[in-house]
Amino acid sequence: MKKFVYNVALALCAMVTINSCSLEEYNPMEVTGDETLATFDGWYGMQTQCYSPIYGQLYTVTDFLSVAEAGTDTWLTANNNDNSKELFYYESLTPSKNKAWDKLFMQAYAALGICNTVINRSESVEGNADDIRVLTAEARCLRGFYHLILTTYFGPITLCMNEAGTNIVLEPKRNTLSEIYSYIIDDLKYAADNLNTTPYGNNRARVSRKAAMGLLARAYIQGAGQGLSEDGVSYWQRAADVAGSFIADTEAGGGTYGGYLYKDVSDMWADGNNRTNKEALFIAAGCDASDNDAWDYSNYGNNKLFTYTYWNQTNLSDICKITSDKQNYFYGRTNNGSCAPSKYLLDCFEPTWDKRWENSFQTAFGSFSMEKVGWIAYTKNTVTLTSDLCTKYGIDASHVGEKIYPYADCDGKTMSHGGNQYTAASIWPKGVTTGDVSTLTTPKKAYVIDYPLAADDNRFFLYLSKEPMSENDKKDRVYACVNIDDLFDADGNYVKTQNDMPSSYDRTSKVYATFPCLNKFIWSYEGVYYGSNLQIRNGDIFVMRMAEVYLIAAEAEQYLGNGTKAAGYLNTLRARAARTGVSESQYKLTTVTEEDIYDEYARELCGEHSRWALLQRHQAFSTRLAKYNKRAASSFKSYNMWRPISQTFLQQIDNAEEYGDNGYGTTAKSGLDGFLQ
């Protein structure tokens, strides 16, 4: 196997401040030489830095989310705007520095140098042998993870096996895909053999055996799409075997690997389980901002992802009384609102039986009070429907004089550090309009609204209906109703203006600016907020969870011709998503097609940094975009199946023209020839 390696971004490979304060451990400000790294504390401090990009850079900013989800069949820009058109639609996609893909490339390579230092120095460290073994296995798991990210999005890259600052190569060579995946799998197998089922120090931010097993299944399935095999056995079969073994152990109690699958999908998304989630295999761990030491000393990521998946409620301020996004204490400052679900993604769901609908998207929107803390009275945000409001929002005139009451009551307290800290929102019960805080209830998740929405539920000002409603259907409803289908034009893009809506909608409203909001990155519990900053919520983000292993098993078995076996895996996920009282015949599959695989991934993992990788390994961009993202299809080129090689990287090396940019035209060669095997 080739040994060509290149330690890119050497400056970034130096010690950096840890970004997840869940890893608040010994953290030297700098590492100065072999003597420091020979001590357990010095080496341990370096090892902690292997995690640094995960929460601070990769999983809490829109850059990686856009690389991993945009440009697929599941996401569009809100109102068909041009924000991020390079990634959503492949328009004007010219490789340049500091773009999302450029940052991803550099961040992953920077972390690899740290991982290598930890691994290479482990044998000379003085300390407890078991501790060193586990921490080294963590570093190898993370090295496999970062290499997997790089090859998933950039194809045949250069393996990085050297320490930060050593053996600098200015004329790097790429490795073949088979070489890269062989190294990844070797690292992940080592990690699975040497990690424990409980993370080191019982710290949820650290990887354990279940993370290594999940990533191993992910590596095999991604490599399968590149046509790879191992000892004469296809990666498809390897993926099926690893995922199947992991699932069997999980269903037997998880004794070997530590896996777990919630029996009810709503428990998986419950706020109370966000930082203790048993289904999580690997997380980007958020920080508890209610802890004063964390506020003062940590440098954790500022997670703004929800601001990109929610529309701005101030567009409907007259019917909800949310007049400033800087004082929107329930939804937060949703002024980015650019990432909206495609019609295909929404059509994948059948809400009549599938609870994943409301646990993925918020489609009913209510206002809020702050009665408990005494900041905003219940009556202040109560709206009385006038004739003008009813006309503007298509509410039947019979409701003039009726009221729309707050849905949530937001709480808060003054912290000794960080100013105001907002805490968990409570919910006003349906039909109770006294404003008495003793009646407030605590939901599993405040942004998950029970389906279907009752016609007389006067806690909501807007309902985006999955099922098309006629004017007669809307007549009994006290709130504004918009058919989701009416938000799309004939080509499946979101409408740009109110005038593009059907004529039944009043031209003075701005309901065109709404869309179903992905609610996977928005939480409301004490410690998730960042002081009084309404753009930030530092919850835990899934890097991988057990449901993905079921999907991988089904995908591999379907490809291998075992449709019935694949159906069994998908039925497990569908059964836990089924509503109480729903007949099994409504959701149970007897066999599975490739289309079923695409659809089930969409239902289960939409928005979870996975869609682009799925389409890439099936070489499905052209066919899927032509059907479900026509604007992207018109600009997609064959070379777009890989993201552009980082321009920052290419400008640092001496053989950029030979190394190539993956075919985007800024270098003489693509650099791919001879390495795609």
**Lowest mean per-residue pLDDT among 15-19, 167-171, 440-444:** 15-19
CA distance 638 to 61: 28
Q: In 7-128, where does DSSP find H-type helix?
A: 10-13, 34-38, 40-48, 52-53, 62-69, 85-89, 100-121
Supply the pLDDT for residue 302: 82
Query: Above 90 in pLDDT, residue 250?
Result: yes
Q: How far apart are CA 583 and CA 283, in angstroms?
A: 34
* Bridge partners of residue 354, in order along the sequence: 578
pLDDT of residue 25: 42
pLDDT tops 70 at residue 669: yes
pLDDT tens digits, one per residue of 637-667: 999 999 999 999 999 999 999 999 999 999 9
For the CA atoms of 392, 396, 397, 398, the dihedral, rounded to the nearest 10 degrees, stands at: -150
253-282 pLDDT per residue, tens: 999 999 999 999 999 999 999 999 999 999
At 2 the pLDDT is 34
Domain residue extents for the chain: 10-300+543-659, 307-533
Question: What is the model's pLDDT at position 298?
Answer: 56
Q: What average pLDDT does the structure give for the chain?
A: 93
Please name the fold of domain 10-300+543-659: 1.25.40
Torsion, CA 240, CA 242, CA 245, CA 250, rounded to 10: -110
Residue 597, pLDDT above cutoff 70:
yes
415: amino acid identity, one letter: M
pLDDT of 82: 96
pLDDT single digits (tens) 191-227: 999 999 999 999 999 999 999 999 999 999 999 999 9
Lookup: tokens for 614: 């799925």
Please say if the pLDDT value at position 294 is more than 90. no
- Quick one: DSSP state of residue 72? S
Class of residue 293 by CB neighbours under 10 A (exposed 0-12, middle 13-18, buried 19+): exposed
Task: Give residue 299's pLDDT.
Answer: 55
Report pLDDT digits (tens) over 502-529.
999 999 999 999 999 999 999 999 888 8
Instruction: Assess whether the previous peptide bond of 156 is cis (omega < 30° from 0).
Output: no
pLDDT confidence of 7, banded at 50, 70, 90?
A: very low
Lowest mean pLDDT among 26-30, 52-56, 284-288: 26-30
- At 376, give phi and psi (nearest 5°): -135, 115
- The pLDDT of 548-552, averaged and rounded, is 99
**What pLDDT score was predicted for residue 300?**
55
* Rounded Cα–Cα distance for residues 345 and 633 (Å): 17
**pLDDT band at residue 33 using 50, 70 and 90 as cut-offs:** low
pLDDT tens for each residue of 92-133: 999 999 999 999 999 999 999 999 999 999 999 999 999 999
Joined tokens for residue 523: 């939480």
pLDDT(245) > 90: yes
Q: How many other C-beta atoms can be found within 10 angstroms of the C-beta atom of residue 81?
A: 15
Give residue 531's pLDDT: 77
The DSSP bridge partners found for residue 464 are: 482
| CA distance linking residue 18 with residue 287, whole number of Å | 11
Please give the DSSP secondary-structure letter assigned to residue 14.
S
Tell me the whole-structure pTM to 2 decimals.
0.95
Q: Which residue has the tokens 């997609």?
A: 636
Please determine, for residue 3, whether its predicted confidence score (pLDDT) is greater than 50. no
Mean pLDDT of 441-470: 98
* Count, residues in the chain: 677
pLDDT tier at 288, thresholds 50, 70, 90: confident
List Cα–Cα distances, 247 to 187, 537, 546, 572, in angstroms. 21, 32, 8, 11
> Using CA atoms, how far apart are residues 369 and 493, in angstroms rounded to an integer?
35
Amino acid at 53: P
Q: What is the pLDDT of residue 23?
A: 54
CA distance linking residue 406 with residue 403, whole number of Å:
10
Q: Where are the alpha helices (DSSP H) in 325-420?
A: 343-348, 387-393
